[in-house]
Amino acid sequence: MFLVNQQFKWFIGLLSLLFFAILNNLEAQELPLTSAQEVVDRYMQAIGGRDRWESLNSRKTREKYDIYESTIVSESIDRTLDYTKYFKAPNSYLDVWFENLFYSVYASNSDCVWFYSDKGVYILFLNKKYLKVPAKLPKLGILEVIGLPMVDNVTVEDGMFRVDFEDETWGRTISVYFDRESFLVRKHSYSNDGKDMHEYYYKDYRNKNGFLEPYLIENFVNYTKFKVTTIEEVIYNVDIDPTIFQSPLPCPLDGEINSIKLENNLPYIY
């Protein structure tokens, strides 16, 4: 009886290997039909068209961040942050968020990157290498990754098309996974120096004014849930005062990190 059981287990194992070999071969046979650029082009078509996104004048969203306690990310405790995000073409971005009655601002334009918090009453100018370089596509969500240099290769992984992009600023490769039928992005992932794994899952796609976006994004760090982003409202081509993107103080000429203590809080105008 023992010998029969061993033979049966060996037979089942062989069948499993044959099944996965056949599945991988079928995926490989499909692969030459699609290039990396074609996958990206089909994605852009699915979310409303490249021309529509490139001609976007402005965008404003209200978002909620649910952050989970984690030993992987320092100072991570359970909390919820309310965000308002602004974009105005061609290259102005600003995020405002509230936590425990304090508010913070992170902004990037063509001149500088700056951060302000009324909790510590200071403004921090970041190195200019973190500037959002002007691009045809607005650097919103996964579109910021799509705008990076693309590796001219596409593979099939976990039943999805995988296309890699090179992030030279941070020295990492970002893998983006596209649905093989709808071509919508389902996931993107990257590792920082091989020390940790970051994964983002895109869900609940909705169409508004011809723009298709995910309204739910789940972020895992080392396979542990860290943050869930929920878009509560999005408005396209809305009037936005361009002065909100300007730094309250002159940007440092050297472009290096500078922290400046302020005597008084900046007025909240966003």
Q: What are the Cα distances from residue 204, in Å, to 40, 207, 232, 265?
A: 20, 10, 12, 39
29 neighbors 23 (Cβ within 8 angstroms): no
CA-to-CA separations, 225 to 2, 38, 99, in angstroms, rounded: 44, 32, 21
* Helix (H) or strand (E) segment spanning residue 108: strand 102-108
Q: How far is it, in rounded angstroms, from Cα 144 to Cα 55?
A: 15
Mean pLDDT of the chain: 84
Please tell me the distance from the alpha carbon of residue 37 to that of residue 119, in angstroms, as a whole number.
45
Cα–Cα distance, 121 to 117 (Å, whole number): 6
Is residue 209 within 8 Å of 59, Cβ to Cβ?
no
pLDDT of 58 reads: 97
Tell me how far apart the alpha carbons of residues 86 and 238 are, in angstroms, rounded to a whole number.
Answer: 10
Q: What is the pLDDT of residues 54-101, one digit of tens each?
A: 999 999 999 999 988 765 555 556 788 899 999 999 999 999 998 766
Report which of 268, 253, 10 is spatially closest to residue 117, judged by C-alpha positions. Answer: 268
Q: What local confidence, expressed as pLDDT, does residue 73 receive? A: 54
Give, in degrees to the nearest 5, the angle at Cα 43 between 66 and 143.
Answer: 50
Number of other residues whose CB lies within 10 A of the CB of residue 146: 22
- Beta bridge partners, 107, equal 94, 114
Instruction: Check residue 77 and give its pLDDT.
Output: 63
User: Taking the model in full, what pTM does it have?
Assistant: 0.82
Regions of the chain with pLDDT less than 50:
1-4, 8, 11, 14, 17, 19-23, 25-29, 31
